[in-house]
Amino acid sequence: MLMNQKKILAAAIIALSVSGCALFNRSNINIPNYNSQLIKELILKAVNGDTSANYLLGNLVNLNLPLMNNYNTLSVDSMTAGGKKYYLALISFPNPAYNRFAVYDSVLNLYLVDKSLNGYITDTVITINRKKFIKVSEDYLTKDILILNRLSLYQVNDTSAELIFRTFTKLIEPKAEYDQIITGFSDDRIVTSLSNKINSPISGKSDVFIYNYSKLKYISPNNIFDKFVEAQINGFKHKVEKPEIKDKGTLYSSVGIDIGLDTIKTTGNVRDIQGYTLTLPDNNWKVLHNFIITDLVKKDFKGTRYVNDIIGANISVILIPSQDSAEMFENYPLKNISEGKYRVRYSDKIPSMKDFVQYFELSCGVKKYILILRASKFTYDEFKSMYQGIINSFTIDC
C-alpha cells in the first residue's frame, strides 16, 4: 500500500459529515468565472483567516477553530460532466478536523463539502459504465498501528453532488491483512468480494450494496466488511499513545478547545473565568473559552474568542501580566489613550487583507487584557456601532 506515513495522523473513525448542497437560484450577473488556480488562492486565504474568501467558498473553513495553515496537501482539479465544468478542491492537514473535500462550479456554487476525511487523501475522476464519478481514497492509522483504507464515490449532476458509496476496503493488522474488492458495478447495485490471507469469519464472503433512490446512495443490509473492521478495531488491545478523534469532544480538544468548559455556546451577557464581563447583543455570537489564539499575535495564547460568522467578525480577549504591555505581543503601536474607570490604550483601525483589525489594552489594578477586534471590511460600517457597544461593555472585576 502506497502512503506517506509522515502525513498520516492517528485517527479513529470520524462520524460522517458530508453536505450535499442543492443550489439556490442566484443570478450570475457580475459573478466572475473561477478556475483551479483562483480557487486554490481563495482556499489559501480562507485557511489564513480571510473571512471574505471563506464566505465566497461557502464557509469551507471552520473559522471557529484556531487557524491551521500548515497543510499537507492542497489540490484543485477539474472534471466535466453533463457538459458542465466542476472543480474538485481537496485540502488535508496533520489534524483531520481541518480536512475538506468540496465540489464547486466556475461561479463558486458549492455542490458538496465533506468534512469527514482522514489521513493521506487522494481524489481521482473515474469512469464506470460511461458515467463519471469522483473517487476519494483515505489511508490512515487507528490505535497507532492499524492501517485502514476507505473508499468514497461521489456523483455530480446539474444541481447537486452526492456521496453515493462509502466503505472500508482494507485493514492491515500486525499479523493479518483483510480486503474488500469491488467486483461488480451497475446503476442498481455494487457487488464486493471479501478476502484475507488467513482463515477468518469473512473468508470467501461477498456483499451486495443496493442503490436506494430515496437516499441517493448504495446501501448494504449486511455491511459485512465495515462491521468486521469496526469489531476488529474495538477488540484490538494496544496502548494508544497518539491522539485520536472519536467524537465532537475529542475533535475540539485536538485543537485546544475544552468543550467541557462551556466552550461553544450562544450568549448575551458573559462573565469570563479570567475576571471580566462582556455583553453580546444577540445569539449570533458564539463564545469559545480556552481558545488557542494563534493569529494576530506574536506568540500563541490561550484566551477567549467571540465569533459571529454571519457578519464575519470575531473578538479575542487575552489576559496578560500587569507589568507587560500589549506591544510586547503584537506589532502595532497603541498610541490612543482613554482614561476613565479603566485605562484604555488602543491602535488605529488596521487594514488586513479583507478585514479591519484593531487592538485594545484595558487595565485596572493588577489585571490587564488585550482585546482584538477583527471585522470584515464589507460589513464594518454597517455594524460599527455594535462593535463599539461590545467593547464599551467590557467590565473588569478589579
Which are the contacts of 394, defined by CB distance < 8 A and separation ≥ 6? 276, 277, 278, 362, 369, 371
pLDDT computed for residue 31 by the predictor: 58
How far CA 305 is from CA of 1, 140, 285, 373, 374, in Å, comes to: 42, 32, 10, 10, 11
pLDDT computed for residue 151 by the predictor: 97
DSSP SS3 for 37:
helix
Name the least confident of 27-31, 65-69, 192-196, 294-298: 27-31
Domain boundaries defined on the chain: 5-235, 256-396
Top-confidence residue, 136 or 367: 136
CB 167, CB 180: distance < 8 Å: yes
| pLDDT confidence tier of residue 1, bands split at 50, 70 and 90 | very low
E strand segments, 40-129:
73-81, 84-92, 100-105, 110-114, 120-128
- Is pLDDT at 76 greater than 80 in this prediction? yes
CB 155, CB 109: distance < 8 Å: no
Query: Could you report the per-residue pLDDT of 320-336, keeping only the tens digit for each?
Result: 988 899 999 998 989 88
- Is pLDDT at 4 greater than 90 in this prediction? no
User: Residue written as cell 463564545?
Assistant: 287
| pLDDT confidence tier of residue 19, bands split at 50, 70 and 90 | low
Q: How far apart are the first and last CA of the chain?
A: 61
| pLDDT confidence tier of residue 159, bands split at 50, 70 and 90 | confident
- Is pLDDT at 369 greater than 70 in this prediction? yes
Top-confidence residue, 60 or 246: 60
Quote the mean pLDDT of the chain. Answer: 83
Query: Could you report the per-residue pLDDT of 229-262, keeping only the tens digit for each?
Result: 999 998 988 776 666 666 556 665 555 554 443 3
- What is the rounded average pLDDT of the residues 303-314? 89
- Is pLDDT at 10 greater than 70 in this prediction? no
CA dist 276 and 95 (Å) reads 32
Superfamily of domain 256-396: Mog1/PsbP, alpha/beta/alpha sandwich (3.40.1000.10)
CA dist 345 and 357 (Å) reads 15
- What is the rounded average pLDDT of the residues 270-284? 73
- What is the rounded average pLDDT of the residues 296-305? 86
The helix or strand, by DSSP H or E, that contains position 207, with its residue range, turns out to be strand 206-212
Top-confidence residue, 117 or 276: 117
CA dist 294 and 309 (Å) reads 18
